């Protein structure tokens, strides 16, 4: 009996996750997000093609923190996570899911898993390719700077989880989550995240930079001032992501849907 | 349990606006039509029944259960929404199959059930086309297919004929009739009494959020026959269509509200709806859409509510 119930839950999870993945990666909306996600790779290719002097893993770090973590990551997670529930509400497709024997909190969690898989597919491969281009150009071995690649991959995963959960929550509490998300992602994060002292603890980017600082052996990111260790940053970001997803579940559970076509 | 759906003094507010006003009615077994003009509260009642809205006052039971956030009840329910949006990037087959998987059905079984449901509503040929390419009538049938595919006990159908072409209407009504004949219950809303009359005698009349009458459809037929019934047909050749239809002796007026539209006023809507598909099939001008403005029904409601 429990086995059958588990099987049913698994089928529902794979269906909602698959539907989300298919929507985020299989429709025309993937073109701008994939192009944006490919920016690190395109940039390193351009640097290599332009024979830029001193293009190595240090320049990689200098460019990728502001460009990738503070622009690409935020934008891709924002446009992907805010569509998960809000777009289904606006498009009137949510009733198809809500009239099936699946709870609203379950829909939220499975959609979030689909989102996470989709954005990581969009963000990780270009990051790895950018690393490969950098080390190839600099004449270094691919294994020489694996700490840098590993740290950026971990920061991307945790950043996608935290930003995505926050933007998902925004999408179930405000009607215009994109505007609210833009304000948070580009105004709050850049202002609060750059104020010296403890105020930075209120920004996600501070924890992402703290992870880079702790995990990378040599390079400009190691000079970032932070008292937060990678372990603490990991725990804070995961805790925040879980809290935001749970709050989104609670919010959706009590939500009524009244709009008509 | 006396009725399949029982509502007692159910009220629902949208801010200052009252969507349902102490609505009390009992919906019996088989097919029941919920008839009322646009804005009467039909969709609000249905959204309460599928658990998409929560009643502010009163009690509401479907299959003897409270629908709000009731996950197990949804196994027993099939819902066809009023709007025509589908997941446009999925084919009809994928659309129905995906929703069946949410019922916990294994992949193979879901595939077969989706094929069967699409065949039932006459969409087999278009099953593998993206639903964004579907006409309004095809969308209506795809929505009906997903509502039926898991073999529910009760169907909630919100204006299932809205915008469907004459042939799609026949197909949809036949499918609902067959479902009821096999023991299912269906609640179908419409603002066109004559649509529901073809498949059931049981109706509940709703107006301004209140149930104002219920029971046998024939009891109010006479009232409605006193008011010419309006039907708006979409066609590329409205004047040619008017010529073809002019032979029907129950038609009292034609109007041409748009270059691609013909408004027909008839004293015998049932005869008109019966004869129209034959005219279309027999080489008459193509009819791509059919709607009934609810002014004729409004007149009856004004009479009923004084």
* Mean pLDDT, rounded, for B264-275: 83
The string over A52-64, giving b where at least 16 C-beta atoms fall within 10 Å of a residue's C-beta and e elsewhere, is: eeebbbbbbbebb
**Among all residues of chain B, which has the CA nearest to that of A7?**
B104
Higher-confidence position of B221 and B65 = B65
Region of poorest pLDDT, from B49-53, B161-165, B222-226? B222-226
Predicted confidence band of residue A41 (pLDDT cuts 50, 70, 90)? very high
Chain B residues 115-154 with a CB less than 8 Å from chain A:
146
CB atoms B52 and A8 under 8 Å: no
**Among all residues of chain B, which has the CA nearest to that of A28?**
B89
Predicted confidence band of residue B13 (pLDDT cuts 50, 70, 90)? very high
**Among all residues of chain B, which has the CA nearest to that of A96?**
B99
Whether B100 shows a pLDDT value over 60: the answer reads yes
Predicted confidence band of residue B163 (pLDDT cuts 50, 70, 90)? confident
Output the CA torsion sign for B210, B70, B75, A244. Answer: positive
Residue among B71, B85, B140, B187 with most chain A CBs within 10 A, to mutate: B85
Higher-confidence position of B95 and A217 = B95
Which of left, alpha, beta for B58 (phi over 0: left; psi -120 to 50: alpha)?
left
**Among all residues of chain B, which has the CA nearest to that of A18?**
B98
Nearest to A92 among B77, B85, B99 (CB): B85
CB atoms A261 and B99 under 8 Å: no
pLDDT value of position B120? 92
Higher-confidence position of A159 and B224 = A159
Predicted confidence band of residue B305 (pLDDT cuts 50, 70, 90)? low
Whether A83 shows a pLDDT value over 60: the answer reads yes
- In chain A the beta strands, taken as DSSP E runs, fall at none
pLDDT, tens digit, 9 for 90 and up, residues B107-148 = 999 999 999 999 999 999 999 999 999 998 899 999 999 999
Whether B293 shows a pLDDT value over 90: the answer reads no
Number of C-beta neighbours around residue B151 at 10 A = 15
Averaged pLDDT of chain A: 93
- Rounded to an integer, what distance in angstroms lies between the CA atom of residue B303 and that of residue B296? 11
CB atoms B102 and A97 under 8 Å: yes
* Mean pLDDT, rounded, for B231-241: 89
Predicted confidence band of residue A42 (pLDDT cuts 50, 70, 90)? very high
pLDDT value of position B304? 66
Whether A196 shows a pLDDT value over 90: the answer reads no
Nearest to A258 among B47, B83, B87 (CB): B47
CB atoms B85 and A258 under 8 Å: no
Predicted confidence band of residue B283 (pLDDT cuts 50, 70, 90)? confident
User: Taking the CA atoms of chain B, what radius of gyration do you get in angstroms?
Assistant: 19
Contact B54, B19 (CB under 8 A): no
Averaged pLDDT of chain B: 88
pLDDT, tens digit, 9 for 90 and up, residues A201-241 = 999 999 999 999 999 988 888 889 888 999 999 999 999 99
Residue among A28, A95, A255 with most chain B CBs within 10 A, to mutate: A95
Nearest to A93 among B72, B75, B87 (CB): B87
**Among all residues of chain B, which has the CA nearest to that of A6?**
B104
Size of the A and B interface in Cβ pairs below 8 Å? 86
Shortest Cα distance, chain A CAs vs residue B104, angstroms? 4
User: Cα dist. B157→A101, A230, B80, B176 in Å?
Assistant: 18, 55, 5, 9
Residue among A25, A93, A101 with most chain B CBs within 10 A, to mutate: A101
Residue among A96, A98, A105 with most chain B CBs within 10 A, to mutate: A96
ipTM for this model: 0.87
pTM of the model: 0.85
pLDDT, tens digit, 9 for 90 and up, residues A128-174 = 999 999 999 988 888 889 999 999 999 999 999 999 999 999 999 99
Higher-confidence position of B151 and B39 = B151
Whether B56 shows a pLDDT value over 50: the answer reads yes
- Count the alpha carbons within 13 Å of A211 in the hemisphere toward its beta carbon: 26
pLDDT value of position A261? 39
Nearest to A12 among B79, B81, B102 (CB): B102
pLDDT value of position B9? 94
- Rounded to an integer, what distance in angstroms lies between the CA atom of residue B280 and that of residue B127? 25
Q: B31-35 and B210-216: which strand pairing?
A: unpaired
* Mean pLDDT, rounded, for A77-104: 93
- Rounded to an integer, what distance in angstroms lies between the CA atom of residue B280 and that of residue A76? 51
CB atoms A95 and B106 under 8 Å: no
CB atoms B102 and A101 under 8 Å: yes
């Amino acid at each position: 009996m429990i086995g059958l119930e588990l099987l049913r839950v698994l089928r529902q999870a794979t269906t909602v996750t698959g539907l989300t993945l298919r929507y985020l990666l299989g429709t025309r909306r993937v073109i701008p997000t994939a192009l944006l996600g490919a920016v690190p790779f395109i940039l390193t290719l351009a640097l290599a093609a332009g024979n830029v002097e001193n293009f190595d893993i240090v320049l990689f770090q200098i460019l990728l923190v502001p460009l990738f973590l503070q622009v690409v990551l935020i934008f891709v997670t924002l446009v992907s996570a805010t569509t998960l529930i809000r777009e289904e509400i606006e498009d009137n497709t949510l009733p198809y899911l809500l009239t099936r024997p699946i709870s609203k909190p379950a829909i939220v969690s499975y959609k979030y898993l689909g989102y996470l898989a989709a954005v990581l597919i969009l963000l990780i491969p270009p990051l790895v390719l950018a690393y490969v281009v950098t080390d190839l150009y600099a004449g270094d071995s691919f294994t020489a700077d694996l700490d840098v690649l590993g740290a950026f991959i971990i920061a991307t995963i945790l950043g996608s989880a935290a930003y995505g959960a926050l933007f998902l929550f925004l999408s179930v509490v405000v009607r215009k989550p994109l505007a609210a998300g833009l304000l948070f992602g580009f105004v709050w994060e850049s202002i609060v995240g750059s104020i010296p002292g403890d105020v930075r603890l209120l920004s996600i980017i501070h924890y992402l930079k703290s992870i880079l600082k702790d995990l990378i052996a040599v390079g400009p990111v190691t000079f970032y001032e932070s008292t937060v260790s990678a372990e603490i940053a990991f725990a804070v970001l995961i805790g925040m992501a879980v809290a935001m997803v749970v709050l989104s579940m609670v919010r959706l559970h009590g939500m009524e849907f009244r709009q008509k076509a | 349990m006396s009725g399949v759906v029982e509502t007692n003094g159910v009220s629902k507010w949208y801010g200052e606006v009252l969507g349902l006003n102490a609505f009390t009615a009992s919906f019996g077994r088989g097919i029941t039509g919920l008839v009322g003009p646009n804005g009467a509260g039909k969709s609000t009642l249905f959204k309460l029944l599928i658990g998409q809205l929560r009643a502010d006052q009163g009690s509401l039971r479907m299959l003897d259960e409270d629908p709000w956030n009731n996950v197990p009840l949804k196994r027993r329910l099939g819902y066809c929404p009023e709007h025509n949006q589908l997941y446009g990037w999925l084919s009809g087959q994928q659309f129905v199959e995906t929703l069946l998987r949410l019922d916990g059905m294994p992949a193979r079984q879901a595939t077969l059930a989706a094929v069967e449901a699409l065949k039932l509503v006459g969409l087999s040929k278009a099953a593998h086309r993206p639903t964004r390419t579907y006409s309004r009538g095809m969308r209506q049938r795809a929505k009906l297919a997903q509502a039926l595919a898991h073999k529910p006990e009760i169907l909630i159908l919100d204006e299932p004929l809205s915008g469907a072409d004459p042939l799609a209407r026949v197909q949809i009504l036949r499918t609902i009739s067959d479902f009821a004949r096999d023991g299912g219950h269906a609640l179908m809303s419409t603002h066109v009494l004559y649509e529901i009359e073809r498949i059931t005698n049981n109706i509940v009349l709703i107006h301004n959020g209140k149930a104002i009458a219920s029971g046998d459809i024939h009891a109010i037929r006479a009232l409605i026959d006193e008011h010419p019934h309006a039907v708006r047909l979409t066609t590329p050749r409205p004047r040619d269509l008017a010529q073809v239809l002019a032979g029907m002796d129950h038609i009292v007026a034609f109007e041409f509200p748009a270059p691609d539209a013909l408004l027909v006023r008839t004293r015998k809507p049932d005869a008109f709806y019966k004869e129209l598909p034959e005219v279309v099939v027999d080489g008459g001008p193509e009819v791509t859409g059919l709607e009934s403005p609810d002014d004729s029904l409004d007149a009856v409601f004004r009479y009923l509510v004084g």
